Structure 1
Amino acid sequence: MTEARDDYVLDLAQSRRGYALNRLCGSLKDADNRRRFSEDEAAYCDAYKLSPEQKQAVLERDWTAMLDLGASIFYTFKLAMLDRKSMQYLGGVFTGMSAEEFASTMRSGGRKFG
């Protein structure tokens, strides 16, 4: 798994880099696509022409690597939902906290910087 970071920015270059990955994750809004993905994840990744690094990140559910490879959290969350993972779970992964710690931090006003 890739180490948590707090400096992720989805800019135009990252968005272009992650286009195929975001298309794949976005396609999971459709029940038939979720079924097809679940039946053969690797083949589904190939159909969307993911790079080898993107495919590996999806298959290993390396959430931070997906973001590093151009994924948007909003699309990535569709894949997480398929795995029954909450947004708090992903927030915890991205910040190095447990889902409970992340939720508690958000309830208390979020992280304080500087």
Structure 2
Amino acid sequence: MSFELPDIPGTTLFGPQMARKGYALNKMCFSFNDKANRDAFVADEEGYMRRYGLSEEQAAAIRARNVLQLIAAGGNAYYLAKFAGIFGLDMQDIGAQQTGMSKEAFQAKLAAAAHS
């Protein structure tokens, strides 16, 4: 059975190929349901990533705190939400990453839109 995803420019679609690519990353994210695992990750990120066998692409995205790179590395957005909390990122941080803007510029854009 073949599963073909549409091509949507600028969008990373999560299908079977991305699920395989991101298996280790998503399994690690799922482990964060347990506070002890979140604490272990914070205490030794590199060791925790090795424990789950992350690829260098995935590990580099974690080191960069870049949610979009994590998605491109096979991360499922629902699991990656746990990283945002661990990293101290809020939705405005993620919105800024998505638009390629600084957080401050993104906040200014939101404020301007609210007043128009």
Tell whether the structures are fold-level matches, with TM greater than 0.5.
yes
Q: Distance in 2 between matches of 1:26 and 1:36?
A: 14
CA deviation digits over 1:33-66, x for unaligned, max 9? Answer: 0110011000000001101221121122122221
Superposed CA RMSD in Å reads 2.5
CA deviation digits over 1:13-51, x for unaligned, max 9? Answer: 111100111111221121100110011000000001101
Secondary structure of the residue aligned to 1:8 is: coil
TM-score (norm 2): 0.74
Q: Which residue among 95, 107, 113 is the counterpart of 1:100?
A: 107
For the structure 1 residues 92 and 33, does the alpha-carbon distance in structure 2 shift closer, same or farther, using more than 3 Å as the test? same
Q: Which amino acid aligns with 1:93?
A: Q
Alignment of structure 1 residues 1-114 onto 2, 5 Å: 6-97=10-101, 98=103, 100=107
Given that residues 22 and 75 in structure 1 are in contact (C-alpha distance below 8 angstroms), is that contact kept between their aligned partners in structure 2? yes
TM-score (norm 1): 0.76
Q: Which amino acid aligns with 1:100?
A: Q
Given that residues 65 and 87 in structure 2 are in contact (C-alpha distance below 8 angstroms), is that contact kept between their aligned partners in structure 1? no
Q: Distance in 2 between matches of 1:15 and 1:105?
A: 38
Q: Distance in 1 between matches of 2:108 and 2:50?
A: 36
Given that residues 77 and 87 in structure 1 are in contact (C-alpha distance below 8 angstroms), is that contact kept between their aligned partners in structure 2? no
Number of aligned positions between the proteins:
104
Q: What is the aligned-residue identity percentage?
A: 31
Q: Structure with the greater relative contact order (CA < 8 A, sep ≥ 6): 1 or 2? A: 1
Q: Distance in 1 between matches of 2:29 and 2:35?
A: 12
Unpaired segments of 5 or more residues in structure 2?
Answer: 1-8
For the structure 1 residues 105 and 20, does the alpha-carbon distance in structure 2 shift closer, same or farther, using more than 3 Å as the test? farther
Instruction: State the 4+ residue runs in structure 1 displaced beyond 3 angstroms.
Output: 101-107
